C-alpha cells in the first residue's frame, strides 16, 4: 500500500503557474499511490496568486478516475455573485474507503497572530495486505504555535477516541441506516503539513505516550531512517518563501503499523509546489 502526502500550495508551482493537471501527473509518476492526501486545495479563490478560481477539488478528483474523493473544507466564505470560496484538504483512495469524517480542529484566539480555520479528514481504508486502518490528513497553523499545539492535541484525541469504537456497543444498530454501527480501526496514520520542525514542541507532542499508557505515534522517517536528519520538505526550489531548507511535513503512524513500513521517501525532484511530497509504503 502506497500513500502519498503533499502540500500542493493550491497547485501553484515555483514557476508561479497554477496547474492541477501537473500536480496529478507528478503525483502519479512519483509513486502510483493507492491513497493520496493533499493539503492546500482551493475552490473559487481567484484571489490566490496565479489562480482563476478554478475548482481544484473537482479537477484533481477527475484526474484520478477510480478513486473515491473526500473533500475537507476548512475555510468557506462568500465569493462573487453568490459563489463560495473554499480552501482545505482532499483525500483520494482507490482502495475501499469505508467511512469518512471531517473534523474542524481547534482555533483558539491568539491576539498576536492571524491564521485561519483548520480541519482534518479521517477515513477508514481497507488494504489487501494491511487490513483496515485510518488515514487522517490535515494542515496545521503556520503563525500561531499555541493554535498548532492545540491542533496536535486534537489529533491525538481523535486517535484515542477511535480506540473506543473498535468493538460494538451492547446495543449496536444493524439497520444499515445512519445509526448503523461500523468499526473504527485502532491502527492509524496521520499525515500533514505540520508547520513545525523535528525538534519542535508540536513534533515532540505527537511522539509523546498517551495518558493511558498506549504506545505513542512513530515518525515514519525516524523509523525508516534511524539516526538520520529528516529530509527537507520545503526550501529546495522556492527560496523566497523558504529562505532556508527545513522539514515541516511528516507522516506519523500508530505503533502497530510501524513494523509494516517498508519504505518512506521524500521526493526531491518536483518543483510543482513549494513543498515536497512524501511517500509511505506499507506491506
Q: What pLDDT shows up at residue 120?
A: 98
Residue 249 near residue 236 (C-beta atoms within 8 A): no
Domain carrying residue 143? 2-282
Q: Is 223 exposed, middle or buried (0-12, 13-18, 19+ CB in 10 A)?
A: middle
Q: What pLDDT shows up at residue 130?
A: 87
- Grouped pLDDT means (10 residues each) for the chain, 283 residues: 98 98 98 97 97 98 98 96 95 98 97 95 94 97 97 97 89 91 93 97 96 90 98 98 98 97 98 98 96
Residue 152 near residue 202 (C-beta atoms within 8 A): yes
In angstroms, the CA 266 to CA 86 distance is 28
Q: What is the CATH number of the domain that holds 160?
A: 3.60.10.10
- Per the structure, the count of domains in the chain is 1
CA distances from residue 262 to 1, 148, 223, 230 in whole angstroms, order as listed: 10, 30, 10, 17
Q: What pLDDT shows up at residue 38?
A: 98
In angstroms, the CA 52 to CA 16 distance is 13
Q: What pLDDT shows up at residue 240?
A: 97
Q: What pLDDT shows up at residue 216?
A: 85
Amino acid at each position: 500500500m502506497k500513500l502519498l502526502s503533499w502540500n500542493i500550495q493550491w497547485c501553484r508551482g515555483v514557476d508561479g503557474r497554477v496547474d492541477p493537471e501537473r500536480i496529478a501527473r507528478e503525483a502519479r509518476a512519483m509513486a502510483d499511490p493507492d491513497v493520496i492526501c493533499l493539503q492546500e486545495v482551493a475552490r473559487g479563490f481567484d484571489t490566490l496568486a496565479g489562480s482563476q478560481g478554478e475548482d481544484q477539488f473537482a479537477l484533481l478528483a477527475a484526474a484520478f478516475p477510480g478513486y473515491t474523493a473526500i473533500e475537507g473544507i476548512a475555510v468557506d466564505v462568500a465569493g462573487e455573485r453568490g459563489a463560495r470560496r473554499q480552501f482545505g484538504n482532499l483525500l483520494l483512495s482507490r482502495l475501499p474507503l469505508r467511512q469518512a469524517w471531517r473534523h474542524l480542529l481547534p482555533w483558539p484566539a491568539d491576539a498576536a497572530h492571524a491564521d485561519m480555520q483548520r480541519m482534518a479528514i479521517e477515513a477508514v481504508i481497507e488494504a489487501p495486505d494491511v487490513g483496515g486502518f485510518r488515514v487522517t490528513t490535515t494542515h496545521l497553523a503556520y503563525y500561531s504555535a499555541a493554535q498548532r499545539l492545540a491542533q496536535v492535541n486534537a489529533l491525538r484525541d481523535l486517535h484515542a477516541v477511535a480506540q473506543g469504537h473498535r468493538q460494538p456497543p451492547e446495543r449496536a444498530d444493524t439497520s444499515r441506516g445512519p445509526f448503523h454501527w461500523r468499526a473504527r480501526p485502532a491502527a492509524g496514520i496521520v499525515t500533514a503539513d505540520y508547520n513545525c520542525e523535528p525538534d519542535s514542541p508540536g513534533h515532540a507532542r505527537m511522539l509523546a505516550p498517551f495518558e493511558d499508557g498506549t504506545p505513542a505515534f512513530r515518525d515514519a522517517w525516524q523509523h525508516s531512517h534511524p539516526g538520520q536528519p529528516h529530509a527537507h520538505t520545503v526550501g529546495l526550489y522556492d527560496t523566497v518563501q523558504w529562505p532556508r531548507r527545513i522539514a515541516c511535513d511528516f507522516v506519523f503512524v500508530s505503533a502497530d503499523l510501524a513494523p509494516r513500513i517498508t519504505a518512506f521517501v521524500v521526493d526531491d525532484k518536483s518543483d510543482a509546489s513549494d513543498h515536497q511530497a512524501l511517500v509511505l509504503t506499507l506491506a
